[in-house]
Amino acid sequence: MSKKARGQVEQREIEKPDDAWSAELTPEQYQVLRKAGTEPAFSGEYWNCHDDGMYRCGGCGAELFDASTKFESGTGWPSFTEPVVEEAVELHRDLSHGMLRTEVVCRRCGGHLGHVFDDGPGPGGQRYCINSLSLDLDPRGT
């Protein structure tokens, strides 16, 4: 988990002013990626998607999750056992909404992706619960 507090600024590979993000993203993407919002369960494009490919950050295009690690969690959000590479994401302590959770953000642009929980089926036991609005699926073989 990151040792930096949520309010501290880290140097990112992609840094843009807030108004640039607002102009590039849909209002819904902006709310999730830049304001740490959450889409309603069972509402996102990818929660029930079984297509093969690479899930990329909806803000910057960084490769985040391979479809082969996606599983049915029953939560209504896309869930993965692990990122494509550990360095693709950062983990931060999140105390919002009166809960202790671990936030997942894109290392490249700092976009909010979702949260990770220790109740997953894989060898690491993790469930990366990610907002569809934070992702773009790049289909394999097309």
- Structure confidence by residue, pLDDT tens digits, 87-116: 999 999 999 888 899 999 999 999 999 999
Answer yes or no: is 42 within a domain: yes
Rounded-to-10 torsion of CA 128, 84, 110, 34:
-50
Taking only the tens place, the pLDDT of each residue in 7-63 is: 444 578 899 999 999 999 999 999 999 999 999 999 999 999 999 999 999 999 999
Would you please indicate which residues are annotated as catalytic (active-site) residues? 129
133 assigned to some structural domain? yes
The closest of 72, 17, 26 to 48, measured between CA atoms, is: 72
CATH number at residue 103: 2.170.150.20
Q: What's the token pair of residue 7?
A: 């309010």
Q: What's the whole-model pTM score?
A: 0.90
SS (H, E, C) 74-124: CCCCCEECCCCCHHHEEEEEECHHHCCEEEEEECCCCCEEEEEECCCCCCC
Domain assignment of residue 71, given as a range: 18-139
Question: Is residue 36 classed as helix, strand or coil in its secondary structure?
Answer: coil
Instruction: Please check whether residue 9 lies inside any domain of the structure.
Output: no
